[in-house]
């Protein structure tokens, strides 16, 4: 199902919050505030696409979106930081 314009805006905003949270959760050298926020937005899009396909439901409403996006951002940020160390 395609995302509406409103859904995209919500994912962007939630992604910004998720990027900030992920930067606080994942330790190690940071990507800077802009880099962390961009990773958060990408993580939010990935989580919004992937988690429903896997049948993962963590909470409801905006809380679910924040949890999902933060989870996606944490995983993506950890991977980016791991690759940067190699």
pLDDT (tens digit per residue) in 22-43: 888 887 666 787 887 888 788 8
Q: Give the DSSP H/E element, type plus range, for residue 31.
A: none
Q: What is the pLDDT of residue 24?
A: 85
Q: Which domain does 44 fall in, by range?
A: 5-85
Q: What is the pLDDT of residue 2?
A: 66
User: Is the pLDDT at 17 greater than 80, yes or no?
Assistant: yes
Number of structural domains (the chain) is 1
Instruction: Give the three-class secondary structure for 86.
Output: coil
User: What are the φ and ψ backbone dihedral angles of 60, each rounded to 5 degrees?
Assistant: -135, 160
Q: What is the DSSP letter of 55?
A: T
Q: What is the pLDDT of residue 32?
A: 81
Q: What is the mean pLDDT of the chain?
A: 81
């Amino acid at each position: 199902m395609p995302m509406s314009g409103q859904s995209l805006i919500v994912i962007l905003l939630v992604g910004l919050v998720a990027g900030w949270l992920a930067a606080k959760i994942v330790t190690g050298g940071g990507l800077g505030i802009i880099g962390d926020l961009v990773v958060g937005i990408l993580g939010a899009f990935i989580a919004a696409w992937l988690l429903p396909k896997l049948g993962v439901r963590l909470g409801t409403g905006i809380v679910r979106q924040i949890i999902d996006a933060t989870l996606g951002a944490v995983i993506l940020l950890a991977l980016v930081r791991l690759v940067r160390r190699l």
